[in-house]
Structures are given as C-alpha cells and as structure tokens.
Amino acid sequence: MTHAARLWRPVGCRLGEGPLWHIAEQRLYWTDIEGRRLWRAGLSDSAPECLLAGETVGGFVFLANGGLRVYMDQGRVADLVQGNLTAVTTLTDETSRFNDLIATPGGGVIAGTMAQSDRRGTLYHLRSDGTTLTLLTDLGCTNGLGFSPNRTRLYYIETLSRTIFTASYTVETDAIGAFEPWRETADLPGYPDGMTVDGEGALWVAFWEGSQLVQFAPDGAITAQIAVPTPRVTSAAFGGPDLRTLFITTAGGPDSPGAGDLYLVDLPVGGIPEAILPV
C-alpha cells in the first residue's frame, strides 16, 4: 500500500529531526539541528513556537515535570523547563553531538553520537541511577530508535551500513541485550534514518535521499510506503488525538522548496505513546 504525505508546516528546517508528540499538550515537538532551533506546534496553532535558539540539539525527551531533557553537542545534556536551560551532565570524553535518542520505559535514555573525522559514533545508555553504559562503538551514523509495543525489543538504525538492528529489553531492570542485525535495507533507495514503531509492532523508517518512509512488518517484510515530496526524509512520529497521524520531518533548508518542511499522513494504524523521563 502506498500513501502520500501532505504538507503540514512550511518551516524550511536545515535539518529537521527528532519529532515527538506530547499527548497532554497535543503538540508536536521537533528540532532543527543545523538551524540550532527547538520547536513545537499543535494542529490548530497559527504558527510554530521556538522554545530554544542558539543550541545544537540532536534530540530530546519529555520530562514528567513538563520540561524537556535536551542532548546537545560536546556530550552536553541539560533540562529545559519553562524556558530555562539547566546543565544535567556532560560526557567528558565525548566531543561530538548527539544524534537521535529515545527514553526507555525503565527510566533511562538511549542516545547515539555522530561520527567525526577522528573518531566514530557511539551508542550510549544513560541510566536512571546516573551511570552511563557504552552499548556500541565504531559506528558510522547512529540513528533511529524504537521499542516494540510490548517493550521487550529495541530497534536501532545504523545509517551508513543500511542496517536495522534489534536487541532484547527488560523494563524492570532497564537492561538491553546484545544487538543483532534485523533487516538490511540496501534493496531500497536512500539510507535508513529515523524511525517509529506502530501499535501493531511494525517499523516506519524514514529514508534519507529516498523520498519516502517504509513500513516493515515485525518479520521484516515491506507492507506499506509513504511518498514524501522531498528527498531527505529524516524521521517520523505518531500523534494527533488518536495517535493515527504520522508527522514527518525532512531536511534541506529554505533554498530548496519543500525541503526541511513538516509533512503528515493519516494512517489506519496508531502509534505508541512515548516514554516520559521521571525527574
């Protein structure tokens, strides 16, 4: 089945990424990493609201107190609450910026960093007790993360190898097992980027330079595609009143019409509420 995404917000992000739907607020949050802006907007809002400017935010998660925990460059992590940015921690040996992350159902955060000329990317597990575990190293480009509906599997995308990996997950201990390849995507145009998981366990994967999102069933079969009218499709998140609207971020900037705008499509399947980090 093929769906067509339609324009929602002509925002012209340089690198739109990390969309998350806030159920209580009924708003979509997203970051423009290279534009150094963090945004939010509701379906009926007249214009998006800029929440943070001048910081390179690779991703964020929602906090139980209504704020955000933002993951920036140079391994910096901070809380954004009512417009105030407060440092939480810094990964002292990390010189890159964060790139895609997810709050775990067990109270932690899994976050990846970008590769640089002198070092490769790393996937970290920042646990609720304050410890940081290194899950994977020597990565080309860390990207999409998502949990299965029953919270027993974690999916992770390594973009440059065009591979989706999976690992077991245990909520009670916030423990992640060994990663193993789940689905190669070299048979598809572009590179797998961000992703989200629907309520039936299928993965919706954005394809950078592929002009589409692809739905992969739990067995890896392709079951649907969403055509997006710009090539650099970066990520997606389910939202709307019934979580059946898929919001799509793209990259490209204001000099390329349609590139960097936000798109949406209504689907017959709904999403999974995002985990909220306790504080």
pLDDT in single tens digits along all 279 residues of the chain: 899 999 999 999 999 999 999 999 999 999 999 999 999 999 988 899 999 999 999 999 999 999 999 999 999 999 999 999 999 999 988 989 999 999 999 999 999 999 887 889 999 999 988 899 999 999 999 999 999 999 999 999 999 999 999 999 999 999 999 999 999 999 999 999 999 999 999 999 999 999 999 999 999 999 999 999 999 999 999 999 999 999 999 999 667 789 999 999 999 999 999 999 998
Domains of the chain: 2-266 (2.120.10.30)
The amino acid occupying position 14 is R
79, 100, 193, 261: the catalytic one is: 193
Could you give the CA distance from residue 144 to residue 111 in angstroms, rounded to a whole number? 10
* List of residues 6+ apart from 84 with CB closer than 8 A: none
Q: 48: how many CB neighbours lie within 10 A of its CB?
A: 18
Half-sphere exposure for 165 (CA within 13 Å, toward CB): 20
Gap between the Cα atoms of 71 and 64, Å rounded: 17
Residues in Cβ contact with 86 at an 8 Å cutoff, skipping those fewer than 6 apart: 78, 79
**SS3 state at 68:** strand
Tell me if the pTM is above 0.85.
Answer: yes
Pairing of strands 76-81, 37-42: unpaired
- Active-site residue, 219 included: no
Contacts (Cβ under 8 Å, ≥6 apart) of 24 = none
Number of H helices, E strands in the chain: 0, 26
